[in-house]
């Protein structure tokens, strides 16, 4: 028996995230190392009743609150099962088999993975040797075959950001070729500069936000698409009816209802990151503030070996790279000063050994 399998899916090579991460101190996937305050979580869990579990999710209450929270209209926002699902919907809706999707490289892998699955041509624009991005390379790559241009601001993993002028040039070039521009702002609250206004003013711009990073809901899967009503309408046509679960929507609402909690999360991460960068620089480490809730640090020994030793000897997970541009560095998620002290103590000990 020979089953039919879509050729694009058959030929897609996937590498899924490491399993068995529970019980480790996790600094490898840009999660909040400590998560939300326990008293806040406990207060939300009290609202989860048997009736709550028996009812299909209804996202509109969350969406109305979220629209007010960021200063837009209900028609400008759409909730999805994490940013991952938003990416799939957008590429399904505005991509075209055999046509091009431009991203910088390296970047968040789900863009090129979805290109493979959907039969879209991924066009990666490489960083320079010094990890800077020549924006002219992005602009020059946009052509009549381009359907989507993807910009992460800040980018994961390199952490670069774009200026107002650069964004305007890219949007205008994309518009001249009838292409969509995705501005992925997953790390917005760690780097507050936003291009949200272009999602509202332009007819070809989409901004993505997530509740997995600052808002610490990676387990729940909650993302938001922000754009003009026409684009939101088309993406909504593509989405599953109940793709966002009620736990995610409830926690999302309660976070929005607690601005002091959000302020505390922002200040706590900033304190921890500043402390970490200062501590590393005092010991003469080459390190980079990546603008999101993560940093790059160049160990004094082989980065992949240091990452392995942190895991096996210290129960700590960090992110090493095989990419030639990044292989000398490890990426470390940042959180509270307490959680970063735990990382630094382990890192300095492991990296001091010959």
CATH number, domain with residue 245: 3.40.640.10
Same-domain check for residues 210 and 318:
no
User: Using N-to-C axis directions, what is the helix angle for 229-238 and 82-94, rounded to 10°?
Assistant: 100
Reported as type and span, the H/E element at residue 87 is helix 82-94
Query: Can you give the pTM of this predicted structure?
Result: 0.95
Burial class from Cβ neighbours inside 10 Å (0-12, 13-18, 19+) for residue 344 reads middle
Chain center to CA of 33: 16
- Whole-angstrom distance, CA of residue 79 vs CA of residue 210: 10
Residue 306: CATH number of its domain: 3.90.1150.10
Residue 85 domain flag: yes
Question: Residues 25, 166: one domain?
Answer: no
Closest of 210, 185, 181, 204 to residue 196, by C-alpha: 185
Within a domain: 135: yes
What the block records as the tokens of 317 is 């997970």
- 109 occurs within a structural domain: yes
Cα distance between residue 337 and residue 270, in whole Å: 9
* Cα angle, residue 62 at apex, residues 60 and 65 outer, rounded to 5°: 105
216 and 120, same structural domain? yes
Q: Which of 207, 234, 257 is the last residue of a domain?
A: 257
Closest C-alpha among 80, 263, 87, 254 to residue 180: 87
Task: Name the domain boundary from 235, 257, 279.
Answer: 257
Please report the pLDDT score of residue 52 as a whole number. 97
Residues 179, 117 share a domain: yes
Structure tokens at 197: 């206004």
Token pair in block for residue 63: 């969406």
Helix/strand/coil for 205: strand
Is residue 200 classed exposed, middle or buried when 0-12, 13-18 and 19+ CB atoms within 10 A define those classes? middle
In a domain, 2, yes or no: no
Q: Do 331 and 208 share a structural domain?
A: no
- Using an 8 Å Cβ cutoff, are 104 and 125 in contact? yes
Q: Are residues 271 and 152 in the same domain?
A: no
Q: Which two tokens stand for residue 114?
A: 């979805």
Instruction: Note whether residue 66 is domain-resident.
Output: yes
The continuous run of DSSP H or E covering 62 comes out as helix 60-70
Residue tagged 């307490």 (tokens): 338
Helix (H, G, I), strand (E, B) or coil at 206: strand
State which residues form the domain around 326.
7-30+267-351
Torsion sign (Cα): 101, 13, 19, 318 = negative
Same domain, 22 and 140: no
Q: Are residues 57 and 135 in the same domain?
A: yes
Does any domain span residue 52? yes
- Same domain, yes or no: 75 and 160: yes
Other Cβ atoms within 10 Å of 268 Cβ, number: 20
The domain boundary, picked from 212, 230, 257, lies at 257
**Six token digits for residue 203:** 């007819």
Q: Is residue 248 part of a domain?
A: yes
Q: Tokens for 144?
A: 């009549």
> Rounded distance, CA 77 to CA 133, Å?
30
What pLDDT is stored for residue 18 in this prediction? 85
Residues 98 and 185 in one domain: yes
Residue 1 lies in a domain: no
Residue 85 sits in the same domain as residue 12: no
Is residue 17 located within the same domain as residue 63? no
**Number of domains comprising the chain:** 2
The confidence score (pLDDT) of residue 93 equals 98
pLDDT, residue 15, reads 86
pLDDT tens over the chain, length 354 residues? 889 999 999 999 888 888 899 999 999 999 999 999 999 999 999 999 999 999 999 999 999 999 999 999 999 999 999 999 999 999 999 999 999 999 999 999 999 999 999 999 999 999 999 889 999 999 999 999 999 999 999 999 999 999 999 999 999 999 999 999 999 999 999 999 999 999 999 999 999 999 999 999 999 999 999 999 999 999 999 999 999 999 999 999 999 999 999 999 999 999 999 999 999 999 999 999 999 999 999 999 999 999 999 999 999 999 999 999 899 999 999 999 999 999 999 999 999 976
How much is the pLDDT for 353? 72
């Amino acid at each position: 028996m020979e089953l039919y399998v879509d050729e694009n899916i058959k030929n897609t090579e996937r590498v899924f995230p490491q399993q068995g991460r529970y019980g480790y101190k996790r600094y490898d996937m840009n999660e909040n190392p400590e998560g939300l305050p326990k008293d806040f979580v406990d207060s939300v869990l009290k609202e989860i009743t048997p009736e709550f579990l028996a009812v299909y999710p209804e996202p509109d209450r969350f969406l109305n609150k979220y629209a007010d929270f960021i200063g837009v209209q209900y028609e400008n926002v759409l909730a999805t099962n994490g940013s991952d699902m938003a990416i799939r919907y957008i590429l399904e809706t505005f991509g075209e088999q055999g046509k091009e999707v431009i991203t910088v490289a390296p970047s968040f892998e789900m863009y090129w993975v979805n290109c493979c699955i959907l039969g879209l041509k991924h066009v990666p624009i490489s960083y320079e040797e010094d990890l800077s991005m020549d924006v002219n390379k992005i602009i020059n790559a946009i052509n009549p075959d381009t359907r989507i241009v993807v910009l992460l601001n800040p980018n994961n993993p390199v952490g670069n950001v774009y200026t107002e002028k650069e964004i305007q040039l890219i949007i205008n070039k994309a518009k001249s070729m009838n292409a969509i521009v995705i501005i992925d702002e997953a790390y917005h609250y760690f780097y507050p500069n936003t291009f949200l206004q272009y999602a509202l003013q332009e007819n070809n711009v989409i901004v993505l936000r997530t509740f997995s990073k600052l808002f610490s809901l990676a387990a729940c899967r909650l993302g938001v698409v922000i754009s003009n009503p026409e684009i939101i309408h088309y993406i909504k046509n593509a989405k599953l009816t109940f793709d966002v679960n009620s736990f995610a929507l409830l926690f999302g609402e309660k976070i929005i209802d607690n601005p002091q909690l959000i302020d505390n999360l922002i200040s706590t991460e900033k304190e921890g990151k500043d402390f970490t960068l200062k501590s590393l620089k005092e010991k003469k480490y080459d390190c980079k503030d990546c603008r999101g809730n993560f940093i790059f640090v160049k160990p004094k020994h082989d980065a992949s070996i240091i990452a392995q030793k942190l895991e096996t000897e210290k129960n700590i997970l960090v992110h090493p790279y095989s990419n030639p541009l990044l292989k000398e560095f490890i990426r470390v998620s940042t959180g509270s000063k307490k959680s970063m002290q735990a990382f630094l103590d382990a890192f300095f000990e492991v990296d001091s050994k010959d």
